[in-house]
Amino acid sequence: MELAVFGGTGRTGRALLVTALAHGWQVRAFVRTQAGASLQLPPGLVVVHGFADYLPDIVTAVQGTDGVCCLVGTHARSPEPFCAALTQHIVEAMRGERVRRLVCLTGAMIGALPHNVSPAVRAMARLFRWHAPDVAADRAQQEAVVMASGLDWTLVKPPRLTDGAGTGVVHADPELRVGLLDRVSRLDLAEFVFRAATQGRFVGQKVYVRS
């Protein structure tokens, strides 16, 4: 079985690569040619270097796989929003290659906030949208692309991420209460994303997760 991972050069993405390999899966990691190509990645991967805006490169990463995990995001070194456009290319490639399973990592402050998100998180989301309106709009559009894809999708929406040790325990539910102090380690999140992608959990749902 083989999993395609977009965003594998980030901290959560690298944790997912290690997790999937440890579970015995083959892993194909898409690495943007213009970002992250020099990072040390776990051995045993098939690495596909390409451009996020060039569909044939995305097709190369997706073809023949059993599922796709999208963990892309902007950061200080590359603040230009690109998540929605790249995700649209991923969706198009998956449709063309008849790959159905898509798990996309966004965040608890992204998009429309349901009743289970605390007032404090809502306030932080407003600050995020004010401070980085282009990034916030891009991530919200990314969620819209996933939900309109017609694929077997899941949106994973964690609160604050930590680099602590894994606990082996993740609470997950579309109506899970999340507050400002809630968090989840990247290792636990990677395990959850892997299981969601490979076991068909929470298909067609936005799922909130925390430790």
Please return the burial class of 153, using the count of CB atoms within 10 Å of its CB with bins 0-12, 13-18 and 19+. buried
Q: Where are the domains of the chain?
A: 2-210
Model confidence over 82-136: pLDDT tens digits? 999 999 999 999 999 999 999 999 999 999 999 999 999 999 999 999 999 999 9
Find out whether 50 and 60 touch, Cβ atoms under 8 Å: yes
pLDDT value of residue 80: 80
Strand runs labelled E in 36-100: 46-50, 67-70
CATH no., domain 2-210: 3.40.50.720
Model confidence over 160-185: pLDDT tens digits? 999 988 888 999 999 999 999 999 99
Tokens of 211: 């430790």
Model confidence over 62-86: pLDDT tens digits? 999 999 999 998 765 566 889 999 9
Find out whether 173 and 123 touch, Cβ atoms under 8 Å: no
Q: Please indicate, yes or no, whether the overall pTM of this predicted structure exceeds 0.75.
A: yes
DSSP letters for 168-184 = S--EEETT--B-TT-EE
